[in-house]
Amino acid sequence: MISKELNDYLNERITIDIFKNGIRGEVSDYESLLKKKGATINLYYDDLEKVYLENSTVVKLLEETISGNLTNIELAYICDCLTLAENIEFQNEQVQDIIFKVADPEINGGFKTEKELKSLLANFYA
């Protein structure tokens, strides 16, 4: 995943379809490796452009997944990459916590169900 493309998608400069097309191969590899016990999962993330994650961008990712525009696997891959990013800033601890809760489904108890995603989303409106 390229940080510029993630920023472009989050800031609505490219469509979700263009963004998803750019990470399709990486997500496919990620999904295959998640099925293998003990496999090392490579994450491909170009961290050259700073990513600023705020409440609205995390809400967007969760809503896109709930609506079916992003798959749980795509969301987990994006969040996994973001946990490794060095050139990233989180608006607050709540945003960072959600990214880490969704990342690495093998460690964090599997992909989030629609109910779990809605619960995470409700935290932003509480």
Q: How far apart are CA 33 and CA 8, in angstroms?
A: 28
Per the structure, the count of domains in the chain is 1
User: Per-residue pLDDT averaged across 18-42, rounded?
Assistant: 87
CA nearest 112: which of 86, 87, 79? 79
What does pTM read for this prediction?
Answer: 0.91
**108 and 102 Cβ atoms separated by less than 8 Å:** yes
Name the DSSP class of 53: E
Q: Residue 40's pLDDT is what?
A: 78
Percentage of residues in the chain having pLDDT higher than 70: 94
Q: Residue 13's pLDDT is what?
A: 97
Residues 6+ apart with CB under 8 A from 10: 51, 53, 57, 60, 61
Kindly report which listed range (34-38, 51-55, 80-84) carries the lowest average pLDDT score.
34-38
Residues 6+ apart with CB under 8 A from 24: none
Q: Residue 95's pLDDT is what?
A: 94
What residues are paired with 88 via a beta bridge? 51
User: Per-residue pLDDT averaged across 42-56, rounded?
Assistant: 92
CA nearest 45: which of 9, 86, 76, 73? 86
- 120 versus 109: the higher-pLDDT residue is 120
Q: Which domain holds residue 114?
A: 3-125
